[in-house]
Amino acid sequence: MRGNRKRYTLITGASMGLGKSLAQECAKRGHNLLLVSLPGERIDALASELGAAFPIEVVAFEKDLTNECQLSGFIKLIAEFYKVSLLINNAGMGGTKEFLSASEDYISRIILLNIRALVLLTRHLLPVLKAQPDAYVLNIASMASFGPIPFKTIYPASKAFVRSFSMGLCEELKYSNVQVSVACPGGMPTNREVSRRIMRHSRIVRWTVLDPDEVARICLREMYRGKAQIIPGKMGKLSWLFLKLCPESIRLPLMRKSVMKELSEENKLMHG
């Protein structure tokens, strides 16, 4: 493997949702893939499926990127044995909870995955990326990165970090061979729970929802065009404009009302 001349795309959180769609879209483009997911998410099955459908090499890894030892060992393995030319930091987690009711473990895992793992993967693989003729980093933030959200306090703050970090690094590497982009998609029906939450929101929120396959196509297309910040979809751009122009004194109470409704309906379902 040490003499491997192939170039690879590394995708974290690749087993479902946008990560899976990005893996499929990259496979269609002929990328050799390194796919990462938590144990038990059948990443091997996806790797086999894509390897059989396209003339590419696909390698699957089961890693918990919030675990310091697993993350460190994984980074060393990739840096030593694989020529990564595209790093897609997609893995992330969030949820809706009252801040005081959220456990310390829940809060720590969001920060460790959404921020620490993304930063360390980028930091340690950047020399590998720079060694390629041309290379890319695509970080997945969120529309939530543009403002605070009550009852989701940690998640949008972590995604705001991802967006700020990515834009700063993009400018820092402006004259290098590495293009850094950050995508800020709105809601996506990535699994049953997320789909259920989306359907309980207002019609306006539901209008901003995009299919993960479409988001994946837009993200890769705009990344290769050299766009630093990617906001998929027309409604996504309108949402961004609203968040930019609407004062927080108006926006936050509206969001509080919307999220409290979501929490109330979840509690009703939980307690019959």
How many CB atoms are located within 10 Å of the residue 245 CB? 8
pLDDT digits (tens, 9 = 90+) for 105-115: 999 999 999 99
Of residues 230 and 238, more confidence is placed in 230
- SS3 of 32, please? strand
Angle at 61 between CA 116 and CA 182, to 5 degrees: 45
Three-state DSSP at 65 gives coil
- For the stretch 132-146, pLDDT in tens is 999 999 999 999 999
Please give the pLDDT value at position 5.
72
Phi-psi region of 42 (alpha: psi -120 to 50; beta: other; left: phi over 0): left
Write down the pLDDT at residue 1.
40
State residue 269's pLDDT score: 54
Q: What pLDDT sits at residue 257?
A: 87
With beta carbons less than 8 A apart as the criterion, state whether 51 and 96 touch. no
pLDDT, one tens digit per residue, over 166-209 is 999 999 999 999 999 999 999 886 655 555 555 555 555 555 67
15-66 tens-digit pLDDT: 999 999 999 999 999 999 999 999 999 999 999 999 999 999 999 999 999 9
pLDDT in tens, 210-224: 899 999 999 999 999
Q: How many CB atoms lie within 10 A of CB 225?
A: 10
Closest by CA position to 37, among listed 50, 49, 27, 23? 23
Q: How far apart are the first and last CA of the chain?
A: 55
Alpha-carbon distance of 112 to 84, in angstroms, equals 23
- CA-CA distance, 76 to 55, in Å (whole number)? 27
